[in-house]
Structure 1
Amino acid sequence: MRSFKILIAGLGLSLLMVALVNSEECRLMRFPDIHQDRIVFVYAGDLWLSPSEGGIARRLTTHVGMELFPKFSPDGKMIGFSAQYDGNTDVFVIPSEGGEPKRLTYRPGLENLPDRFGFDDMVLDWHSDGKRILFRSWRESYNSWFQKLFLINVKGGFPERLSLPEAGLTSFSPDGSKIAYNRIFRNFRTWKRYKGGLAQEIWIYDLENNTVERITDYEGTDTSPMWHQNRIYFVSDRDHTANIFCYDLNTRKARKITSHDEYDVKWPSLGPRSIVYENGGYLYVLDLKSEQSRKITVEIPDDRVLTRSEFISVSDYVNDYNLSPDGKRALFTARGDIFTVPAEKGNTRNLTNTPGAREKYSTWSPDGKWIAYLSDRTGEDELYLVQQDGKGEEIRITTNGDCFRFVPVWSPDSKKLLFADKNLKLYYVEVESKQITEIDSTRDGEIYDYSWSPDGRWVAYAKPAKSHFYSIFIYSLKEKEIHRVTEDFTDDSEPIFDPEGKYLYFFSKRDFNAMLGNFDPSFTYNQMTRIYVVTLQADSLSPFAPESDEVELKEEKEKKEKEEEKKEKKKEVKKEVHIDIEGIEDRVVAVPTDPGNYYGLRATEGKILYISFPTWTLTGGSPGPKGTLHLFDMEKRKDHQLLTPVDGYDISGDGEKVIYKSEKKFGIIDAKPGSPKIGDGALKLDGMQMKVDYRKEWKQIFNEVWRRERDFFYAPNMHGLDWELMRKRYGELLPYVAHRSDLTYLIGEMIGELCCSHTYVSGGDRPKVELVKTGLLGVDWELDTLSGFYRIKKIYPGKNWEENLRSPLTEPGVEIKEGEYILAVDNKTLQYPTNPYSLFENTVGKTVNLKVNSKPSPDGAREVEVKPIASEDDLRANFWVETNRRKVEEATNGKVGYIFLPNMSGKGLNEFAKSFFPQIRKEGLIIDVRYNGGGFVSDMILERLRRVLVGMSSSRNAGDYTYPGGVLHGHMVCITNQYSASDGDYFPYYFRQYGLGAIVGKRTWGGAVGIRDFIPLVDNGYITVPEFAPFGLEGEWVMENYGVDPDIEVDNLPDFVIQGNDPQLEKAIEVIMKKIDQEPRKLPERPPYPVRD
């Protein structure tokens, strides 16, 4: 009955979806494995089992979290897999015919990593002995770029780490003595046909002899090795589309096996006599004897519960908000629909209720009748109107929305709307005639800030110049002319008229109060912004002209009162705003407030509202509240702080009410001085509920991503790609999406076709699993196989004055040494097969009692109390850095310094400052940008490094000083590897361009096309769009999809690293010491003091 109702009610996609429920065909089955006549795979986040010939599948798991990467045991009786039963991703095992999963690992992984990094504790294979499961994990990595391999016994216990320093997808040889593996893991990266430094190759590692051999050397992707007899099967994109190839260990040659030309082969897995893999959402089985593939049809008797429409609260999905003209209702856009919420009485209204469409940028008309907004219900962003009470039909205003549009702004008479678009143009549209008029355009940046004069005859806006400074302009609708208001030597924004038409207010960065750094005599400017006002009429006095108290005679008072009465009457009749253009740039005066960081400028009669915010650091900290809402009284010339902390606000059309946002709280207060606090006038958002049709929403998200890339991708030719064809190719799989992760996968496949860096997709409304946090001690554990007790193999020292580097066992009063045994945790015995981490569940930040002894016996044991930490990652990273620093110090006899830059953002800049200035008098410096995650500060660091010594100065009672200050008068070497990424590509590229020194290591990532922000989707997921591509001085594109070659190539081969070596660092030391010996650079000695008699 339900299917019949949907059939007669739905069209297009809905028809197809209902047909799918009743058909035998299913797609988007993921991560399959095969054993004889059975296939296990993931569908909608659960494990399913089906015959290898196809047919009806049977569900094995039902948990709300994800179950992933299932692998049959060699005898087919068990399935190892990764799962999120307790929030964290861990290794589990289950009988292959179904049953209760058994948890094998407990250690917490890296939290909140984006999808492109993959998963922790990822099951890869079974050992040939059938007793141990191979998985990869971050648990002992010092950087999130790579994971290590571990074996865990199906009986439990403690994982055994393989000695390889890093590994991706891996397959055991038939006898278990060797592995074929990728050293690099990038299998969740959404970048097809990649050929940068992070390209994957197939290697063989001999577990017994500790030797490695590379067997493929293609410049692109060779991944997913599968070892069968004397052949290694793998996936390669060497013929554009990823297919399965076979490498013969006897002939040492590779040949192509499959020939798919539309979709890539994904996630192949080897069985005793066949390989199962994904292609275009289908499962295929490749017979290894005949080398023929066949598509199998699987029927999944699933209720598709995650695709069912449901009513949800959308208060956590608010994108924008404002007020009705009288302040009695608030307007919200949330989860793609538009709502009005009463200030006090009445019901919440959903004005659009459009499943499958996204409304945004809603705004209330000044006359209170209409709501204007953008909607993509046609497939493009168009401008619409709907009555504020939700009655009547909506009105479509525009029909040419084939590009992204910005926020619409009503004219005071509610007859026109201003808007801008990504084509760098500003327009207004007549609501009644729907006629669009272009006001202005630019080639230097987007136009964001625009507003109307009170009579609707003028438009003020900020437009960028080639300097990237914005200037204020005004446009006359009557004369069709543009006039400059501010000079191009200032950076101005947010122009807004006062309601009387006398003034134009705006922000401008004109306060130059230079600040010097503590370590570096470099200047910067902060809190430069003030509010400025332009008198629009040449004969108007400055609003801040000098005042004087005078005695007022009776007849003058009566005359003044009559004039005030006349003014009040005139206000009822809208007068035309007259602007004297000549000399307008000279009529700018500052509003008497302190300079600061400001945004959100609004004007009411005689008042200005705005938000001030503290100076934020690159690492996210701020010295005060997030933001403070201010009201400046023009008549009294006094600034009032209305409310703090706030994230944003808007004001009613009559200027009497303010809606504020503070984190997730919204409220309405009076727009006047007082003592309001957060929570006053609180709005009840629990009525903001809507029925989410997930299938329609997923289609909207997919199409919005496609449009965003079309409109903002840096190359208008989309790298030569038929972008419409890509939408059709991957869009045909949309009806089969059964889980939000499926949608992420499809979007990733589509944007990956652009063959470009920084095409990211992540997040979204997925089933939520409560995370049980496991406490850590900052140690490596070791099992004493004789006693079954666990001892501390290594304690990672930290910096206990920094919370993220707190090492629990090194804190004052905690006397535990390496080699000692932890016999019990909170009176629970810790002995094999108990996993040590299992006793530290839910202990983060809590006091835990440990029973400790120097021997594996309770006799003479002592008790110690500690507070476990949530993550050891920073401790391990710090230990690696400090180890490198000591190596350099010892190998160079203190002549050379060492700096590691983890990224090119706040943390990297801080690490540079911490390490550069203390080592500035070294004779050389090694800058290590391996594993650099990128950012945007490389030019700032390079500016310091390229300073040249040109002079010296001295003082009688102090040492000598360099000119310029902060200059390193020594040699430099840069170390790179394949994980030097994004701005970590830029750094070595320009390090070479500036001639600062040699580059040692491996070719970098090659991801140079940058992004500006993470773009939110309707369900709080996000994507990115590559918008900024570098090119060289000769007009050539640089770095992208290749990287930066080192001057001296050195690979940290696994067999050397296992022995405790770092060949790249060792070569850097060798190179810089040779340079110091050949070309010593010493500071000039102070000359003899002059004699001037």
Structure 2
Amino acid sequence: MKKTLFTLVFCLPILLVAQGTQLLRQPTISNTEVAFVYANDIWKAPLNGGEAIRLTSDDGYESNPHFSKDGNYIAFTAQYDGNVDVYVMPSDGGEPMRLTFHPDGDFVQGWTPDNRILFRSGREGQPTKTNKLYTVSMNGGLPESIGLDRAAYGELSNDGTHLAYTPITSWDPEWRNYRGGQAMPIWIVDLKTKELITTPQLDKERHLDPVWFKEKVYYLSERDYTSNIWSFDVKTKEEKQITFHKKFDVKSLNAGASQLVFEQGGYLHLLQPQTGVTKQLNITVNSDVTFSRPRWESVSASNLSNPNVSPTGKRVLFEYRGEIFSVPKENGTWRNLTNSPGVADRYPIWSPKGDKIAWFSDRSGEYKLVITDQNGLNIQEIALPNPTFYFQPDWSPDGKYIAYTDTHYNIWITNLETKQSSIIATDSYAHPNRSMNPKWSPDSKWVAYAKQQESHFKSIFAYNIDSKKTIRLTDPLADAITPVWDASGKYVYTLASTNYGLQSGWLDMSSYDPEVTRSLYAIVLNAEDKAPVLPKSDEETVEAKTDSDTNKKENDNTSVVVKIDEAGLLDRSIAMTLPDRNYVALLEGPKHTVFVAESVPNTRGLTVHHYDVEKLKATEFASGVSQMVATADRKSVLLNQNNNWHLVDTKSPPKPGEGKLKIDIKTKLDPKAEYKQIFK
């Protein structure tokens, strides 16, 4: 028995190795060899499998290899010299020859019967971005159009009289079982008469990768909800399913003189068209996999995401590639707080006192809430009850709670003392904008958020942490978004639309919906407080001054008490004096001020206005803004302009280049550790 077990254990690695290397892509076949893409390089191997030979090794990627009819050359697409063009080289290897020079990308589709190279390009796709098919001599020269106004993926018949093709490219080819407007049959056109026939499309399924084998067109179809090979006889119009895979889709079909080759399950397979018999090729690729070696990488400002600023604007937290970085405003150096290439650390946030930092981490396998000091040390983990992804944390001003959302459109609150988490709200419908983002009141007693109603209009709600009561703050007949608390605790600002209505849906790609405009509103929470837009009159008043008044600090949120009177609350939603426009977001400002972001047509980024509620005056603060984050004391704001980060004062509009952060971050990458995190 022990001998048998030893034999099985000993043989298992041999069996695994015998399967060959996976992730072999885009195969092409000749009479004796198969070429393919592995790790963005082109390799080839014998038709019966075995050890592969590397043909290219440039830093730029190579793709779409195609053997010439005689098997002596390989045409392919390569990203050399900063551009994507057509190249050709001997099938035994050698120096590639560049054949196209247009700035637009050129992608090889195959060869013509007269030994020219067929490729697609969007070089003439104006005003709409469409592709056409062209041919170019393997000896160079000007490309020639094949005469169709629109074509993407295709191949010529053996006699060159017909073209089987798809007219458009897919913006998301990995959308499995897609049944939308981009799902098209294979078009087969007579290039002389322009007579057109199509493959049968019975379930609005997608047909891809057409190739010719004798009088038939072979292609990939998702009719049975897995991508399989089908054939279509051009003369008899007979359609037939050839493969019947259920688990992994068939990819990258290519035809040779006597058989077909395709990718499925990460391996390459041969198909005998006459019998329908398939055979997996066991190919071994002995690559140096330089892309997987640990290396140092410089991080550009444009690649930093999910910023958060320390309470007084001394440092900024960023996320990059699952690492959390702390960057100084002026003095000091950046710090990598995590140093964990095999862990995804997400959404950092600074505590209101500035002594702690929190983020979500999947170090244990599922995401937990991690809390550390500002140097990333003294780690404390809080288990979260629902294994999922989490977003948009907001730390309560008293430091006791963190509110956040999850993939399932819930708002959670975690008590940092008891380490208990609870759901306070769930959105009614899924939407890619994820607009619930919770916001704490200045006294840490309320959480404001936007939630969709049955009408799909969003209303602003406030949840009380003590009573567990939820109050609607806005009229359900208006679509309200992005709530912001005034530092005084008297108002909640929101952007609301009264012309928001039925739309075609966020997955639609062809309709043109009516323009939505929004206005700025201030919701007066306490019935005893006055609206900020009431007429003002200069009068003499006499008030008794107490010691508490003398010692009171304007920006001390500990003295703020938020009171919400439900009676007449909807009537206390006051429109500000800003004209209604395409406002998209609000950001908290100093007391009685708010930042309003506007999307202006034909401009890059957002225009941010600084609105003074008491003076009823708006001042343009910044333009070309893509992100903005305020400090807890509301005295500074972080702006992303033209892929640069600027930390500026909120008192006045910044000058060009003012407050620009020096981003000189370097991080050590360990791709193999990242792979384990990505695919676990």
With structure 2 as the length reference, what TM-score do the two structures score? 0.81
Asked if the contact 1:492/1:506 (under 8 Å) is kept, the reply is no
**1:48–1:60: 8 Å Cα contact kept in structure 2?**
yes
* 1:474 corresponding residue in structure 2: 462
**What SS does the aligned partner of 2:75 have?**
strand
Aligned to 1:124: 110
Superposition deviation, residue 421 in structure 1: 3.7
Q: Which deviates more, 39-48 or 86-95?
A: 86-95
- Please say if residues 461 and 472 of structure 1, whose CA atoms lie closer than 8 Å, have aligned partners that are also in contact: yes
Aligned partner of 1:307 in structure 2 is 292
2:442 maps to which of 454, 477, 480: 454
Q: 1:684 aligns with which of 645, 662, 665?
A: 662
**Does the residue aligned with 1:333 lie in a helix, a strand or coil?**
strand
Structure 1 partner of 2:476: 488
1:694 to 651, 671, 675: 671
Q: Conserved in 2, the CA contact under 8 Å of 1:490 and 1:508?
A: no
Q: Distance in 2 between matches of 1:329 and 1:405?
A: 24
Q: What corresponds to 2:36 in structure 1?
A: 41
The 2-side partners of 1:363 and 1:697 are apart by: 23
Q: Does 1:359 align with 2:345?
A: yes
1:506 aligns with 2:484: no
Using a 3 Å threshold, how does the CA distance of structure 1 residues 94 and 370 change in structure 2: closer, same or farther? Answer: same
**Correspondence 1:532 to 2:517:** no
Q: Which whole-Å deviations, capped at 9, do the CAs of 1:399-426 have from their partners, x for residues lacking one?
A: 3133x54412111211112223454443
Tell me if structure 2 keeps the 8 A contact 1:171–1:225. no
Deviation at residue 202 of structure 1 after TM alignment: 6.9
What's 1:1016 paired with? none
% identical aligned pairs: 33
Go from structure 1 to structure 2 and tell me whether the alpha carbon gap of 1:488 and 1:144 turns closer, same or farther (over 3 Å shift): closer
What is the CA RMSD across the aligned residues, in angstroms? 4.1
> Are 2:18 and 2:282, in contact at CA under 8 Å, matched by a contact in 1?
no
| Letter matched to residue 494 of structure 2 | F
- Taking the aligned partners of 2:53 and 2:408, their CA distance within structure 1 comes to 52
Match of 1:722 in 2: none
State the 1:338 CA deviation.
1.8
Deviation, structure 1 residue 32? 1.9
Deviations 1:547-581 (A, max 9, x none): 555678xxx79x54756315359969646544444
* 1:399-478 pair list within 5 angstroms: 399-402=385-388, 404-443=389-428, 448-478=436-466
| Residues 312 and 253 of structure 1: CA distance in aligned 2, closer, same or farther (over 3 Å) | same
Matched position secondary structure for 1:480:
coil
CA distance in 2, matches of 1:122, 1:341: 45
1: CA distance, partners of 2:590 / 2:253: 68
Which residue in 2 is equivalent to 1:319? 305
Partner Cα separation in structure 2 for residue 500 and residue 462 of structure 1: 21
1:155 aligned to 2:139?
Answer: yes
Deviations 1:529-548 (A, max 9, x none): 12414152x44445565555
Task: Tell me the equivalent position of 1:384.
Answer: 370
Return the offset for 1:696: 4.5
Deviations 1:284-313 (A, max 9, x none): 233567764332222223211223332223
- Structure 2 equivalent of residue 1009 of structure 1: none
Counterpart contact for 2:75–2:108, Cα < 8 Å: no
Q: Is the 8 A contact 1:91 1:123 kept in 2?
A: no
Cα deviation digits, residues 437-486 of structure 1 (max 9, x gap): 33344525766243333332233333333344433333333333233333
Deviation at 1:280, TM superposition (A): 1.4
Which residue identity does 1:632 align to in structure 2?
D
Separation in 1 of the partners of 2:498 and 2:188? 60
Pick the aligned partner of 1:610 from 591, 595, 599: 595
* Residue pairs, 1:889-900, within 5 angstroms: none
Contact 1:626 1:646 (C-alpha < 8 Å) held by counterparts: yes
Q: SS state of the match for residue 408, structure 1?
A: strand
SS in 1 for 2:550: helix
- Correspondence for 1:656 among 604, 612, 635: 635
Preserved CA contact (<8 Å) 1:180 1:225: no
* Counterpart among 245, 258, 280 of residue 295 in structure 1: 280
Query: What is residue 267 of structure 2 aligned with on the other side?
Result: 282
Which residue is 1:565 aligned to? Answer: 550
Give the match's secondary structure for 2:552: helix
Correspondent of 2:100 among 101, 105, 108: 105
Number of paired residues? 646
Cα gap change, 1:143 to 1:190, in 2 (>3 Å): farther
Which residue of 2 is the match for residue 133 of structure 1? 117
Q: Tell me, in whole angstroms, the C-alpha distance in 1 between the residues paired with 2:548 and 2:236.
A: 103
Give the deviation of 1:391 after TM superposition: 0.9
- Distance change (3 Å), C-alpha of 1:371 and 1:289: same
Structure 1 residue 393: Cα displacement: 1.7
Alignment of 1:766-781 (within 5 A): none
State the shift of 1:283 in Å.
Answer: 1.6
Q: Distance in 1 between the 2:208 and 2:378 partners? A: 58
- Counterpart CA distance in 2 for 1:80 and 1:30 is 16
- Is there any run of 5+ residues in structure 1 with no aligned partner, and where? 1-17, 111-119, 513-522, 704-1093
- Alignment map for 1:798-947 (pairs within 5 Å): none
Contact kept, 8 Å, 2:24 with 2:38, in 1: the verdict is yes
- The 2-side partners of 1:640 and 1:164 are apart by 53
Report 1 or 2 for greater relative contact order, CA contacts < 8 Å, sequence distance ≥ 6.
1
Superimposed CA distance per residue, residues 51-96 of structure 1 (whole angstroms, 9 cap, x where no aligned partner): 2222222222222333223222333322222333344433322112
Equivalence for 2:315: 329
Equivalence map 1:200-279=2 (5 Å)? 200-201=185-186, 203=188, 205=190, 210=193, 214=197, 217=200, 219=202, 224=209, 226-228=211-213, 235-236=220-221, 241-244=226-229, 258=243, 260-279=245-264
Contact 1:287-1:293 at 8 Å conserved across structures: yes
CA distance in 2, matches of 1:463, 1:350: 36
- For structure 2, the 5+ residue unaligned runs are 1-12, 500-512
Write the letter of the residue equivalent to 1:132.
Answer: R
Paired with 1:108 and 1:508, the residues of 2 have a C-alpha distance of 43
**Are the equivalent residues in 1 in contact too, given 2:164–2:217 (CA < 8 A)?**
no
Task: Judge which range, 638-647 or 343-352, deviates more.
Answer: 638-647
**Judging changes above 3 Å, is the alpha-carbon distance between structure 1 residues 506 and 172 closer, same or farther for their aligned structure 2 residues?**
same
Q: 1:632 to 1:47 in 2, by over 3 A?
A: same
> Residue 392 of structure 2 aligns to a residue in which SS?
coil
Distance 1:530 1:545 in 2: 16
In structure 2, do the counterparts of structure 1 residues 32 and 615 end up closer, same or farther at CA, with 3 Å as the change threshold? Answer: closer
Of structures 1 and 2, the larger Rg is shown by 1
Preserved CA contact (<8 Å) 2:27 2:263: yes
The structural deviation recorded for 1:693 is 3.0
Aligned residue among 340, 359, 369 for 1:373: 359
Task: Name the CA distance, whole Å, in 2 between partners of 1:544 and 1:109.
Answer: 55
Equivalent residues in 2 for 1:983-1022, closer than 5 Å: none
Residues of 2 paired with 1:230 and 1:582: CA distance? 78
Q: Does 1:32 align with 2:27?
A: yes
**Counterpart for residue 649 of structure 2:** 670
Given the superposition, is the C-alpha separation of residues 561 and 510 from structure 1 closer, same or farther in structure 2, using an over 3 Å criterion? farther
